[in-house]
Amino acid sequence: MLLAGRVALVTGAARGIGRATALVLAEEGAAVGVADVLPEVEATAEAIRKAGRRSAAAVFDIADPAEVREGVESIVKALGPIDVLVNNAGIVNNVAPVGRMSHGAWERELAVNLSGAFNMIREVVGSMVERRWGRIVNVSSIAALGGLHHQAGYAASKAGLLGLTKTVALEHARDGITCNAVLPGLIATELVTAMPAEIRESAVAATPARRLGETEEVAHLIAFLASERAGFINGVEIPVDGGMRLNTSSLASRREARETRRPG
Ligand SMILES: NC(=O)c1ccc[n+]([C@@H]2O[C@H](COP(=O)([O-])OP(=O)(O)OC[C@H]3O[C@@H](n4cnc5c(N)ncnc54)[C@H](O)[C@@H]3O)[C@@H](O)[C@H]2O)c1
């Protein structure tokens, strides 16, 4: 087991990648605190307890520093100081060309996706420094590398998260703390599987692996980065994208993608 005796905290753990990550960290031996704005996060805690590990849930908005303080305190009280922080919670609520994006929607995406991770790190890093050990994993996106049509706020927030990741890595490497980023491509969460078939199929065609990723494929990478074994890996950004970020503009690539999309 990679995480025996550790205490982890995963944000956005009510569903999707966050829920899968919380379950995998528990499988690897950690006690896992789970946080979300949705009260359904209690079901994730319940599943972890059923699997024989300690768990506690907290409902709070990561964009609100006061709520974060209170929520983290409640998890620490229940499980002990946090060894592993996974900043997974994120939103897409702002799909429009940049010239038509509302200021409020832009601000909210940055507040959750970028400031939310900052708020969480600020709350736990002091105790990691005191204990000379810590692992922070930030869930960014391949949109941070290539941009994303009509999602300037999302792409900018996820790119900002990479700057935060590298700075925390630099500042705290000497304290036995690592901070790394994982960059999912298209992963089969409820949101993605509910997309109109045409959009989903074209995304699959743009992925050299020709399939969506599974939430567990992201979760297992996070578990490794959270472990003792990954102690010398710091400040990196690792795509989990079936090759989606690679150059697919060659004639042969485009021909193969067209063939994937052709029915039958
Ligand atoms: N699914 C993908 O294809 C994909 C691709 C790239 C990156 N990502 C990133 O992975 C992470 C998880 O994505 P997912 O697909 O599982 O999404 P999801 O929407 O299924 O889950 C996100 C969770 O975060 C919670 N959340 C949202 N705002 C919050 C807030 N302010 N405070 C606390 N919790 C909050 C939601 O309630 C939800 O449970 C996100 O950061 C997302 O940007 C996902």
Active site residue 126: no
Helix (H) / strand (E) element for 254: namely helix 251-261
Question: Would you say 89 and 138 are in contact if contact means Cβ atoms under 8 Å apart?
Answer: no
Q: What is the pLDDT along the chain (264 residues), one digit of tens a residue?
A: 999 999 999 999 999 999 999 999 999 999 999 999 999 999 999 999 999 999 999 999 999 999 999 999 999 999 999 999 999 999 998 899 999 999 999 999 999 999 999 999 999 999 999 999 999 999 999 999 999 999 999 999 999 999 999 999 999 999 999 999 999 999 999 878 888 888 889 889 999 999 999 999 999 999 999 999 999 999 999 999 999 999 878 888 888 888 877 655
Is residue 88 within 6 Å of ligand 1 at its C-beta?
yes
Q: Which of ligand 1's atoms lies nearest the C-alpha of 20?
A: 16
Nearest-angstrom CA–CA distance, 177 and 226: 10
Predicted confidence at residue 242, as pLDDT, reads 97
Atom 43 (ligand 1) nearest CA: 90
CATH code of domain 7-195+212-245: 3.40.50.720
Give the dihedral sign, CA 97/102/108/114: positive
**Ligand 1 centroid from CA 122, angstroms:** 20
The pLDDT value recorded for residue 263 is 58
Nearest-angstrom CA–CA distance, 196 and 30: 37
- Other residues' Cβ atoms within 10 Å of the Cβ of residue 131: 14
**Under the phi-then-psi rule, with left for phi > 0, alpha for psi from -120 to 50, and beta for the rest, what region is 29?**
left
Is residue 246 within 8 Å of residue 253, measured between CB atoms?
Answer: no
Tokens found for residue 144: 């941070």
SS3 of 98, please? helix
How far is ligand 1, taken at its centre, from the CA of residue 77, in Å?
26
At 84, which helix (H) or strand (E)? strand 84-87
DSSP string, 116-185: HHHHHHHHHHHHHHHHT-EEEEEE--THHHH--TT-HHHHHHHHHHHHHHHHHHHHHGGGTEEEEEEEE-
Cβ of 15 closer than 6 Å to ligand 1, yes or no, is yes
Phi first, then psi: what are they for 56, rounded to 5°?
-145, 145
CA of 89 to the centre of ligand 1 (A): 4
Q: Please, are residues 103 and 25 in contact by the beta-carbon 8 Å criterion?
A: no
pTM score above 0.95 = yes
What DSSP state is assigned to residue 212? P
* Angle ∠(68,72,78) on CA atoms, nearest 5: 155
